[in-house]
Amino acid sequence: MSENHPRPSTGKPKVVVVSGGTDGMGRAVALARARLGDEVVVLGSNPEKGQRLVAEAEQAGARGRVHVVRADLSSIAENRRVIREIAARHERVDALCLFANRQSPQRVVTPEGLERTFALYYVSRYVLGHGLAPLLARSASPVIVNVAGVGTTAGGIRWDDLRLERSYSTVAAQLQAGRANDLLGVAFAARPDNPVRYVLYHPGFTRSGDLTPLPWAARVALRTAAALAARPVADAVAPVLELVDDPPTAALTAIDRGRRLPLTLRTLDPADADRLAAVTRALVAAAEGSGHEADSPGDGSGAADTAPDVPDTTAPARWLGGQLGEITAPGSTPAS
């Protein structure tokens, strides 16, 4: 299968929501599903990218099937607005594909009091998944595909410093949010009477990703490495397109490229998943309530505050090392 020639869909058109669908892998999924006849709701923050996507969908014969909702998904309030807009337009959602992410070389705290990478890469996925669960439950075969880094065992949740106030790096923030997404899948799939299949999918090092937030040298290094070692976007998203058509029967599935991972992987620990779910409920409640007291209080100004740290210039190189190292993620077994 390729991005330009997706296999014909067999069933009736689906309603597919793609967070981070204006660029990279999410964009490829959005276009491919629209070409197959699905109604696609794309979430992204950049209006020009959204307009270009709609125009390309029209040229590809999918006029009117891509609807872009502009939103800054690092904001919980924006995620809530997006959920309301989707509920107003659609009586059901068949698939939620989660791609939105952006690297942040500096530590930034959102106006809701969360470290921005954690907010965008993890909390948004938590809020969208739970918020759209009632619409997903109306589908005959609902699925959430969370595209992150399952199979990677590096990094972890800083339980006593979720906002990474004591030490911040781009890599630590990405790894923390990635591990949080692994635990999100475990907790979501374990909900009682949950009809939604949850898939954690690691695409591997792929020729996508907005490098503009990174320093020049890191961008050059990453582009060079990507030209040599990264997968084409079409290859990376092919399993996602199939998962939308044909969700697994198991409540939770973890896939690292073509390999199905054992759910005994230590990053999928059910006790950690319960713990993070409880912490996240409290964080979201605090952010939506009186302010951001759930973690440490910040300056309380309500404005995004950037830590005074110097930019972490070593982070991109370590991020690159992490990406290449992930090509042989430990603890995985071949797909059945």
Ligand X SMILES: NC(=O)c1ccc[n+]([C@@H]2O[C@H](COP(=O)([O-])OP(=O)(O)OC[C@H]3O[C@@H](n4cnc5c(N)ncnc54)[C@H](OP(=O)(O)O)[C@@H]3O)[C@@H](O)[C@H]2O)c1
Where on the chain is the footprint of ligand X (CB under 6 A)? Answer: 20-26, 44-46, 49, 71-74, 99-102, 120, 147-149, 202-203, 205-206, 208-210, 323
Minimum separation from the CB atom of position 307 to ligand X (A): 18
Q: For residue 135, which of 186, 180, 85 has the smallest C-alpha distance?
A: 85
CA distance 57 to 65: 8
Minimum separation from the CB atom of position 312 to ligand X (A): 17
Using the 8-state DSSP alphabet, how is residue 268 labeled?
Answer: G
Minimum separation from the CB atom of position 59 to ligand X (A): 19
Question: Which of 247/322 has CB closer to ligand X?
Answer: 322
Please answer whether residues 75 and 118 qualify as being in contact, where contact means their C-beta atoms are separated by less than 8 angstroms.
no
CA triplet 134, 64, 242: central angle to 5 degrees? 55
Question: Which of 101/192 has CB closer to ligand X?
Answer: 101
Question: Which of 101/253 has CB closer to ligand X?
Answer: 101
Question: Which of 23/235 has CB closer to ligand X?
Answer: 23
Minimum separation from the CB atom of position 324 to ligand X (A): 10
Q: How far is CA 25 from the centre of its chain?
A: 11
Cα separations (Å) of 47 from 9, 176, 200, 313? 29, 29, 28, 30
Minimum separation from the CB atom of position 231 to ligand X (A): 8
Question: Which of 94/235 has CB closer to ligand X?
Answer: 235
CA distance 141 to 55: 30
Name every residue whose Cβ is closer than 8 Å to that of residue 191 and which is 6 or more positions away in sequence: none
Q: By beta-carbon distance, which residue lies closest to ligand X?
A: 24
